[in-house]
Chain A
Amino acid sequence: GAGVSQTPSNKVTEKGKYVELRCDPISGHTALYWYRQSLGQGPEFLIYFQGTGAADDSGLPNDRFFAVRPEGSVSTLKIQRTERGDSAVYLCASSLETGNNEQFFGPGTRLTVL
């Protein structure tokens, strides 16, 4: 498809487990962003990549969160030792470059930690 895709669409896991969330950006988009949206809140920035490198990871809440983009396309957000407070919708967006370029959002992955 032409848009940003994210898998899985829903993930239910138990406290303490490890999860991986995947984002496929629009082909050719060099910038990729991860956001987290808790219920009733706007999205919050987690990390963004320019190409393969994490240009800014200051939004990652703690060291249980990690993201990679090894080939500058698909990105994986990894969460270790999940906690109930990690439950949220994780949104990915991509844009042609950083700067004032429109970001195109994926449908999100709804993570529920029991």
Chain B
Amino acid sequence: KNEVEQSPQNLTAQEGEFITINCSYSVGISALHWLQQHPGGGIVSLFMLSSGKKKHGRLIATINIQEKHSSLHITASHPRDSAVYICAVRSPRDDKIIFGKGTRLHILP
């Protein structure tokens, strides 16, 4: 079992829909990251959080430390949101980042 699990693996939705991507992890963490990866490989950091909730534009990230779970939400989704969204956790023990396999999101116009 992977230390970081994401669901769903693939998600196709219509423009305007509310999107939720989930991340569960099984290790202790010092921080959790949500990353966006567009075709071609470039990765952009969306959020880094260790508790509570963060919001940036149409993106919202939440984390529940007790349940070892985080969600990334996209409101009013748009075709340009189509990308792979990766959840990654940082280990407090050795500072390494462990990545999930990513969720491939496709927003149809």
- Give chain A's interface residues, CB within 8 Å of chain B: 33, 35, 37, 40-45, 48, 56, 59, 89, 91, 93, 98-100, 102-108, 110
A99-B35 Cα distance, complex, nearest whole Å: 18
Contact status B41-A108, CB under 8 Å: yes
Q: A100-B48, A100-B50, A104-B45 are in contact. Are A45 and B97 (CB under 8 A)?
A: yes
Contact with A along B18-53 (1 / 0, CB 8 A): 000000000000110101000011111100101000
What residues on A are CB-neighbors of B72 within 8 Å?
A: none
A37-B102 Cα distance, complex, nearest whole Å: 11
Give, as a whole number of angstroms, the nearest-CB distance from A92 to chain B: 10
Give, as a whole number of angstroms, the nearest-CB distance from B95 to chain A: 5
Contact with A along B71-104 (1 / 0, CB 8 A): 0000000000000001010100011111111100
Contact status B40-A105, CB under 8 Å: no
